Amino acid sequence: MESFNSDYTQAVGFNLENETYGIDILNVSEIIKPINITFIPNTLDFVLGVINLRGKIIPIVDLNKKFFDKFKDITQDSRIIVVSVEDNTVGFLVDRIKKIYHINNQNIENSPETVNENVQKYIKGVGKLDEALIILLDVNTILKEGGYKS
Amino acid sequence: MSSFNEMDEILKDFVVETEELLEGLDEDLVALEKSPTDADLLNKVFRAFHTIKGSSSFLGFEKMTELTHKLEDLLNSLRRFELELTPSIMDAILMSVDKLKAMLEAIKQNQSIDDIDIEQEIHKLLKAQNKPSQIDTIQKDSEEKLIEEPSQPQESKELQEQVQESVIESENDIIKLQIEEIQEEPVPAKKTNLTDEELNAEIQKLLEQRIKEDKERRKAKQQNNKTQETKDTQTSKQSERIDTQTLTQSKVEEVESQKIMSNKEPQDKSKQDLDKQTIRVDVKKLDDLMDLAGELVLAKNRLVRLANIVSEQNENDDISDSLSNISSQITLVTTDLQMAIMKTRMVEIGKVFNKFPRVVRDICRDLNKEVNLVIEGAETELDKSIVEEINEPFVHLIRNAIDHGIESPSERIQKGKNKIGTLKLSASQEGNHIVISVEDDGRGMDKEKIKQKAIENGIITEQEASLMSENDIFNLVFLPGFSTANQVSSISGRGVGMDVVKTNIEKLNGIITITSQPNIGTKIIIKIPLTLAIIQSLLVKVAGSLFAIPLANVIETVRIALSDIEHVQNKDVLRLRGSIVPLVYLGDILRISQGKKTLNKDEIYVVIVSSAEKQLGLVVDALVNQEEVVIKPLGNYLGKVKSIAGATIMGDGSVALILDVVSIVKQASKLSVNIASHTADQKEFLQNALVISNKANLEEFMFIKENFAEYNILFSDNIASLYSHPSSIVFLDLSMPNAIDLINDIRELPATKKSYIVGLSEDLQSDKSRFEDTSLNALIGLNQKSNIENIKKLLNKKINPDKKGGV
């Protein structure tokens, strides 16, 4: 796998708070429209609840709430990105899906210090593209943190 | 790459097989102690050691080989009757078996066994062998025996050993070793020094013996069937199973005659299920199958729901009829399929029970007590995952029974009891549950002593103690650190045991009850569900959300009024047939009901649940249904969520959460919200009104404000506002897509059951027929504002006649 086109990172681009973020496409299993979410008590407040995805129970995390402590209404454009790392599957609620970006690995830099501290720890790097900057998220860290109250 | 995997496979098989052998050994060795001259048993034990020796040397576990080799030597002397089996020899053997177990455990964990010290065991084994007591007489005895019954079993055993030895030692073929399924699988015939004729005669003899035995066994099983049939309907399925078993047995017999002849093993009376055709399947595969069956159950639930809707809409319609037929047929098939898959995961509880003779023996030797262990219902089956969990609690219960329950032989004689105590372990199936009990005929539990200890330890006050029922007192022993023993022994007294029992049984959603009578004995009954994957549940609603309570934990449901609730230290309790049950609102435990007033003071539904020994009354808004649900985990991300055991998918595709009754019962005592705070205040109720509409512009509803100015009117786009704003009038925008559901939801809420629901309609004509069957009280046409005066009059009458209406 690694040897195949390892010069490029492919990322699913999406919007949060008017900025473009990206998740490595290898971690994304699918993108769905928001469906009925069942609230789960005793979880952290950015966990909106769980959904039934073809018979599987998947927790939904509101990335706006997690990163910026802000609840946003679900709109026509809202999407859930279903992310999977090993046995851990979570859906991220985002404002809007943009497109798949191909980023030359040489154009990926460490995240700038100016980024919100709360978000900083989840950033793998920043991809420089002609049209914009794309903040690449480290999905593993987010998933490992979990959504339960300790 | 592949050879590495193969090696892994072999190792896995080795671990599984050796584990089984060692488990069997415990049982056989204890039996052997009781009948030390049983040649069959001796041979069986010898073979087990031999097999372990063979496979461990093949895999290079030298220490294991060394130890088993010594054991084999000792057994060889025993079985040639050169040595008498004394308790101390047995101790040495058992000690070595324990060491073997420890080594196997290390192998399982991928640790090296080279560091495990076996010097002591080997020393003991050698000592046992070198100092045979009264060797002469024994030898004479055995020689006589040998002459009396010409060495038939002995000889065939040797033949078989040779066969096995040659398999193990001469064959390096990997597959052979895997197939070499100890006693259960026929060993391929090898060249022996017997002539063909001798061999045939030998086989013929064995075969006759076997057929005779089979007949007897079948007879016994049939008798078993008869007694079981009378028990209950559940067991009738079991007896069917037994029938098919005997059937396969006789079939096997037919086929046996020629093909398997040359491979035939000598008879062994302790191997009951020798002929059962089995294959070993990875549990993961069964889990997957179970998951798929779960999916099917969910799909079935949806189909049933759909069929119901269709048949409601089109009565006497051919298509809806056949849809109903299909759905009921699929229901039947899925239920059967699910049962069948569940059965494949089932193992006999004997797998656990068989370990206990050894446990009992060891404890008895330690305490100088004599106990006769009686095991009943060892063939009762339950889910593999549960079987693994119940071992530990039962070890504790057995220890307690022998240490605290059963008296010393001298005390028993003094009391006029049989010198030998009886400990009865029994298991049986009751519907979807397995009931297991541990019963001793000892001194019984001393209520006064328990009370006293509890007071001494500050667990209860004297006053509380005087109010406690017998059951409550017995249940005190489950508290961590509680022990009535004055001395801590290696066996019990630290007060950990019963806590372990409770925790483990709780984990399995089980229920424990204790009954005890002084000097007659103590009986501990444990009831656990058959399986953990698919459960019967009671669906309840709280603040608009659906929750499933495992039916295994539900004792009963009751309907009470607010006035029935009593208070103890400002906490709500309910007096239920003499016992006092604490009451909490489920919404408060889940922390989803702050400021919500969904209850009706005249009509409160309580689900009495039980976890292990504790009971609790959960107040809910509504009881919805009883349904079979499939537990789905919430996933790693959410980990273990407090109060929630998992989720399930309902027939309509929505998700309902399954409650973790154990954790709920634990949290209940910390709660300080009274149920009364969730009932709607009469005055508030009569003053409140709610308008539900999802329209962005509420301009066209402003007439309500003008016409019903005396009400405290709230505008909302969802029903949730009703929870904190209980209203006697609800204006509902009928253009909302789920208007009919909303009406039902309002009616389902106890607080608003009798609210006056007014439909706001854009098209009076069509809405009149659309909502004809609903419990809508009145309609207002939005265009002509019709009917307002009528409604006002009606409401006045309804609400004000003598200040009694409404809720």
Q: Quick check: B242 and B224 in contact, CB under 8 A? A: yes
Chain B residues near any Cβ of chain A (below 8 Å): 295, 298, 545, 590-592, 632-644, 646-647, 649, 653-657
- Examine the pLDDT at B259 and tell me if it is beyond 50: no
Compute the average pLDDT of residues B198-205: 70
> Does B263 fall in a domain?
no
Instruction: Write the Ramachandran bin of B577: left for phi over 0, alpha for psi from -120 to 50, otherwise beta.
Output: left
Strand ranges in B650-776 using DSSP code E only, listed in sequence order: 655-659, 688-692, 712-716, 729-733, 756-761
Q: Compute CA distances B433 → B430, B665, B733, whole Å.
A: 5, 21, 49
Is B400 in the active site?
yes
CATH number at residue B304: 1.10.287
| Same domain, residue pair B34 and B154 | yes
**Residue keyed to tokens 């020798």:** B274
Question: Percentage of chain B with pLDDT > 90?
Answer: 7
Q: Compute CA distances A146 → A46, A61, A85, whole Å.
A: 11, 10, 13
Of the two residues B771 and B202, the one the predictor is more confident about is: B771
- Examine the pLDDT at B150 and tell me if it is beyond 60: no
**Burial zone of B502 (CB within 10 Å; 0-12 exposed, 13-18 middle, 19+ buried):** buried
For residue range B325-363, list pLDDT tens digits in order. Answer: 888 899 889 888 877 887 787 888 888 888 888 888 888
Q: Quick check: A111 and A126 in contact, CB under 8 A? A: yes
CATH number at residue B603: 2.40.50.180
At residue B620 the predicted structure's pLDDT band, cuts being 50, 70 and 90, is very high
Q: Which of B33, B72, B121, B389 is catalytic?
A: B72
At residue B559 the predicted structure's pLDDT band, cuts being 50, 70 and 90, is very high
The pLDDT score that the predictor gives to residue B370 is 87
| Same domain, residue pair B674 and B774 | no
User: What is the pTM for the complete model shown?
Assistant: 0.58
Helix pair B2-34, B87-108: axis angle to 10 deg: 160
Strand-pairing partners, residue B522, are B440, B516
- ipTM, 2 decimals? 0.89
Q: Quick check: A44 and A147 in contact, CB under 8 A? A: yes
At residue B505 the predicted structure's pLDDT band, cuts being 50, 70 and 90, is confident
Is B213 in the active site?
no
Q: Quick check: A83 and A67 in contact, CB under 8 A? A: no
Count of pairs with CB atoms under 8 A, one residue in A, one in B: 82
- The answer, for A149 touching chain B at a CB cutoff of 8 Å, is yes
Q: Quick check: B71 and B42 in contact, CB under 8 A? A: no
Expressed as residue numbers, the domain containing B313 is 283-344
| Same domain, residue pair B781 and B723 | yes
Last residue of some domain: B678, B700, B729? B678
The pLDDT score that the predictor gives to residue B496 is 66
Q: Compute CA distances A109 → A9, A55, B412, B483, whole Å.
A: 13, 40, 83, 64
The pLDDT score that the predictor gives to residue B257 is 41
Is B161 in the active site?
no
Last residue of some domain: B344, B366, B395? B344
Residue B790: how many CB atoms within 10 A of its CB?
A: 11
- Examine the pLDDT at B454 and tell me if it is beyond 50: yes
Give the integer Cα–Cα distance in Å for A128 and A106.
9
At residue B797 the predicted structure's pLDDT band, cuts being 50, 70 and 90, is low
CATH number of A8-145: 2.40.50.180
Compute the average pLDDT of residues B4-21: 76
> Does B181 fall in a domain?
yes
Distance from CA of A59 to the nearest CA of B (A): 7
Q: From the list B642, B643, B647, which residue is nearest A57 (CB)?
A: B647
**Burial zone of B5 (CB within 10 Å; 0-12 exposed, 13-18 middle, 19+ buried):** exposed
Q: Quick check: B489 and B373 in contact, CB under 8 A? A: no
Last residue of some domain: B319, B344, B369? B344
- Examine the pLDDT at B665 and tell me if it is beyond 80: yes
| Same domain, residue pair B603 and B704 | no
| Same domain, residue pair B561 and B655 | yes
Strand ranges in B449-520 using DSSP code E only, listed in sequence order: 511-517
Of A98-102, B223-227, B425-429, least confident by mean pLDDT is B223-227
- Examine the pLDDT at B271 and tell me if it is beyond 50: no
Residue (of B707, B792, B778) closest to B743 by Cα position: B778
Q: Compute CA distances A102 → A8, A13, B609, whole Å.
A: 6, 10, 56
Q: Quick check: A119 and A108 in contact, CB under 8 A? A: no
> Does B52 fall in a domain?
yes
Calculate the average pLDDT of chain B. 76
Interface contact A41-B643, CB threshold 8 A: yes
| CA atoms in the 13 A half-sphere facing the CB of A17 | 13
The pLDDT score that the predictor gives to residue B778 is 81
| Same domain, residue pair B630 and B642 | yes
Q: Quick check: A100 and A120 in contact, CB under 8 A? A: no
The pLDDT score that the predictor gives to residue B184 is 43
Q: From the list A51, A88, A148, which residue is nearest B655 (CB)?
A: A51
| Same domain, residue pair B658 and B737 | no
Residue (of B598, B531, B535, B586) closest to B557 by Cα position: B586
Starting at the edge strand found earlier in the chain, the sheet holding B521-529 runs B371-376, B421-430, B433-440, B521-529, B511-517
- The answer, for A29 touching chain B at a CB cutoff of 8 Å, is no
